[in-house]
Structure 1
Amino acid sequence: MDHQQVIPGSVLRNPGYRSFAASRVFSSLSFQAVTVAMGWMIYDQTHSAFALGFVGFCQFLPMVLLTFVVGHVADRFDRRRIGLVCQMIEAVTSLVLAVAVWQHWVTPAVILCAVAIMGAATAFERPTMAALLPNVVGPSLLQKAVATSTSMMQTALIIGPSLGGLLYGLSPIAPFAMAAVLFTVASFNVASIRIERRQSSREPVTLSSVFAGVSFIKGRPLMLGTISLDLFAVLLGGATALLPMFARDILHAGPWGLGLLRAAPAVGALAMSIVLARRPLQTEVGKKMLAAVFIFGVATVVFALSTNIALSVCALLVVGASDTVSVVVRSSLVQLLTPDAMRGRVNAVNSLFIGTSNQLGEFESGMLAGVLGPVATGIVGGIGTIVVVLLWMRLFPDLTKVRTLQG
């Protein structure tokens, strides 16, 4: 169709979108760099898989506790101001960590406390910014805006971990100091966003309105099936929390190796997002999504069995590329099928699903690795992902019938 031929670059002519994209990129870049540094630091101090698992848990817990508050706040107040406050909190936390490292105050408890604070800020920031995007660009450019934003975010996910590992290798203070600066830059950009469409009128706060996002998704089996498939696949198959163990104990690489491993899924995701921006999913979308998640599970098993860093990186490239297919389908459904008045609440629930699969998945992997070891944990997770795909084909048969993402 004609609207699919609009090049992604056309979105960048929108000043509001440029500010939006810059804010998200700088924020993501900083968060990824800090996450790598904190993961390496806590494992270096504790040599414990359980400690790595608690890093994910401390990110996940604030998201669970705040999800329904976040959604209503995002639907009732200026989303730009919410993003500004969140990014300033992240900047201050990064600065405090830099000072703590400099003064040798850092302990595992300090790191976990910082992770929890940043987790709370992220719990507000991510769904709010996702809900803001349709207010920045018109409906005709929304799909291209999502694709372009995904490509930029994946670029940040590539650079952030690598930069975090490199800077940590030079000085443990450096990644936190850099993050403090870039979070501040991100906050200035979100404050300058010009919007195309104002938020819809604010409905009164009631118990039913607070939980409206859950009801909305529950009443749409196709959306529920897609989101929950992604949740359980990454929950079981995510090896991100164990990368410090693989880098140090199995692949015998230093912080640079960890940065490389962390960046690899984002490289694969970036490549796939570029492909999907040029060649959108137009036919047999459901079957392609299920096949991609199946491949995600297989690649996770390959990564777990690998003792060669080149093979490990290749497996993680496939992990990132296959996961992106699921991300594109889920994001398109959430953004295009949700009315603006409910986008904050629906995106908050969606963010909870994503956070559950990522942060709680890290906790689950860390706990399991403490008992079985990282290799067995990765194998079990990958096989579990494959089983989930086969099970979801029975529980949500409509997933296999989805032909296109176009209405």
Structure 2
Amino acid sequence: MTSEHERMPVGTASPPGAAAAAAGSPGVRGLLARPGFRGLMLANVLSAVGFGTSRFVFVWLIGELTEWNPATAILGILIGLPPLLLSAWAGSLADRLDPRRFGVTTFALSAAGFAATGVLVATDTMTVPLAMVCALVTACAPSMLMPLLQALVPALVPPGQLMQGVAIQNLSMMVSTIAGVFLGGAVIQAFGVAAGFWLVTIAGLLGAAVFAATPLPGQAPARDRRGAIREGARIALGTEPLRSLLGITAVIGLAIATSTLLLPEFARDVLGTESLAASALNVFMSIGMMITSITIATRWTPSRPGLVLTVFSIVPLGGGLIAIGLSRAYLLTGLFGFMWGLAGGVVMTLLRTLTQVNTPPELMGRVMGLAAMAQNGAFPIGALLLVGLVSATSVSTAMVIAGFLCVACTSAIAVHPHVREL
């Protein structure tokens, strides 16, 4: 895969902070002036809007179809299975297929799946089992799209601005996902549940149109396709610092699963809040992540990104979950959530940047697929773990235990110098 700027080979890349300083980068405005990157970010926004809307609409649909509480947990596990099972394969496809054709096809398949779901809802033929199947099937295409969107960033930005590019992508994804949740709620209230699926369908069709019009790198040179996933996994999991970086990615997935699944129940049962106040806790976290993502994109480029990543992933990542689990006051919980979001923005931006800087260009899609599998695939695994912890203890205790587990895992990785010396 070629591009306007060659990606930095493994072992020869300058630290992102030093590279950015040396390049005298034109900043965020300069990146967004590049047609390829601008089109990719627009496609990223449409993908994230669809993701946020679909999650909310499916949860709302299940709530209307049944009052059986475990149904929502089962829905979460089913939605989390496609990233776990398909991300590595999608990354392999991203390495060898024409990115435009792959992206357009994936967006179109996503739109078709949500359109079919909307028809079932509109015709009153939807049932709980059918909704579960639709949730599983419609999660497949977006899960395959994410490794491609992430793998294209290094091909569309100058090497010295990779950290800025990653920060912009993370920021656009967070804002759009939150916007998707609110759009889903507004559309359902105004037009009904089926309209929520029409909204996601429109986002998918627009995404396909944007991807078709965006100047992207050409298809990768032909190579032997046999064992492509296995070869990528062998290199990524068998070499440092990629192995440690993917390990931290998996820990982040566990932390996200914990906050996503336990925070609403914690707010309701422990803090005694209503749904609006409970949802506001997620907003506090998201605002924190937005602030640090904007800061990294525009003002702050750490000279020792590996050391910063190590410190922030050990202390605030798991420590934030512990603090929230021990809190019994709403405002204090909101403050802890905001601080956890601040740390999360730093960790996710630096982690993606260092992973891509240390990945060979020909393996970029496969490594991004493995990263997506590690982070998003941790959702169903984390859900099963948390169900056991909550059943054996309580919601707050389970959150504290999960926090200590995150601290232990990241500390075990940090014992070795592979990441902190980057």
Distance in 2 of aligned mates of 1:331 and 1:260: 27
Distance in 2 of aligned mates of 1:154 and 1:21: 12
Q: Is 1:203 the equivalent of 2:223?
A: yes
User: How much has 1:169 moved relative to structure 2?
Assistant: 4.7
User: The residue matched to 1:349 in structure 2 has which SS?
Assistant: helix
Alignment of 1:196-345 (within 5 A): 197-207=217-227, 209-235=228-254, 238-246=258-266, 249-250=269-270, 251-254=272-275, 256-257=276-277, 259-277=279-297, 278-283=299-304, 285-306=306-327, 309-345=330-366
CA contact (8 A) 2:322 2:399 kept: yes
Match of 2:164 in 1: 144
Match of 2:3 in 1: none
Q: Give the residue type in structure 1 aligned to 2:151.
A: A
Q: Relative to structure 1, is the Cα distance of residues 393 and 333 closer, same or farther in structure 2, using a 3 angstrom cutoff? A: closer
Q: Is 1:121 the equivalent of 2:116?
A: no
User: How much has 1:279 moved relative to structure 2?
Assistant: 0.2
Aligned positions, number: 398
User: The residue matched to 1:398 in structure 2 has which SS?
Assistant: coil
Match of 1:60 in 2: 80
Distance in 1 of aligned mates of 2:236 and 2:175: 30
Question: Which of 381, 386, 392 pairs up with 1:360?
Answer: 381
User: How much has 1:281 moved relative to structure 2?
Assistant: 1.9
Alignment of 1:124-135 (within 5 A): 124-135=144-155
Q: Relative to structure 1, is the Cα distance of residues 382 and 218 closer, same or farther in structure 2, using a 3 angstrom cutoff? A: same
Distance in 1 of aligned mates of 2:379 and 2:413: 20
Q: Relative to structure 1, is the Cα distance of residues 293 and 191 closer, same or farther in structure 2, using a 3 angstrom cutoff? A: farther
Distance in 1 of aligned mates of 2:268 and 2:193: 17
**Structure 1 unaligned blocks of 5 or more:** 403-407
TM-score when scaled to structure 2? 0.84
User: How much has 1:247 moved relative to structure 2?
Assistant: 5.5
Q: Is 1:80 the equivalent of 2:100?
A: yes
User: The residue matched to 1:332 in structure 2 has which SS?
Assistant: helix
Q: Relative to structure 1, is the Cα distance of residues 85 and 360 closer, same or farther in structure 2, using a 3 angstrom cutoff? A: farther
TM-score when scaled to structure 1? 0.86
Distance in 2 of aligned mates of 1:99 and 1:284: 48
Q: Relative to structure 1, is the Cα distance of residues 187 and 260 closer, same or farther in structure 2, using a 3 angstrom cutoff? A: farther
Match of 2:175 in 1: 155
CA contact (8 A) 1:32 1:160 kept: yes
Match of 2:370 in 1: 349
Match of 1:399 in 2: 419
User: How much has 1:22 moved relative to structure 2?
Assistant: 0.6
Q: Give the residue type in structure 2 aligned to 1:235.
A: L
User: How much has 1:276 moved relative to structure 2?
Assistant: 1.5
Higher helix share: 1
Q: Relative to structure 1, is the Cα distance of residues 308 and 160 closer, same or farther in structure 2, using a 3 angstrom cutoff? A: farther
Q: Is 1:101 the equivalent of 2:144?
A: no
CA contact (8 A) 1:298 1:386 kept: yes
Kindly provide the CA deviation profile for residues 7-49 of structure 1, in whole angstroms up to 9, marking residues without a partner as x. 1111111122221111110110121122123234435655666
CA contact (8 A) 1:239 1:362 kept: no
Match of 2:58 in 1: 38
Q: Relative to structure 1, is the Cα distance of residues 91 and 201 closer, same or farther in structure 2, using a 3 angstrom cutoff? A: same
Distance in 2 of aligned mates of 1:289 and 1:34: 34
Q: Give the residue type in structure 1 aligned to 2:254.
A: L
Distance in 2 of aligned mates of 1:373 and 1:365: 10
Q: Relative to structure 1, is the Cα distance of residues 65 and 5 closer, same or farther in structure 2, using a 3 angstrom cutoff? A: closer
CA contact (8 A) 1:297 1:383 kept: yes
CA contact (8 A) 1:266 1:320 kept: yes
User: The residue matched to 2:274 in structure 1 has which SS?
Assistant: coil
Q: Is 1:190 the equivalent of 2:204?
A: no
User: How much has 1:245 moved relative to structure 2?
Assistant: 3.0
CA contact (8 A) 1:12 1:18 kept: yes
CA contact (8 A) 1:91 1:183 kept: yes
Aligned-pair identity (%):
21
CA contact (8 A) 2:325 2:396 kept: yes
Q: Give the residue type in structure 2 aligned to 1:153.
A: M
Match of 2:46 in 1: 26
Distance in 2 of aligned mates of 1:169 and 1:308: 31
Match of 1:405 in 2: none
CA contact (8 A) 2:51 2:177 kept: no
Distance in 2 of aligned mates of 1:142 and 1:117: 33
More moved, 181-190 vs 148-157: 148-157
Q: Relative to structure 1, is the Cα distance of residues 315 and 84 closer, same or farther in structure 2, using a 3 angstrom cutoff? A: farther
Distance in 2 of aligned mates of 1:103 and 1:159: 28
Q: Give the residue type in structure 1 aligned to 2:238.
A: G
Distance in 1 of aligned mates of 2:281 and 2:188: 15
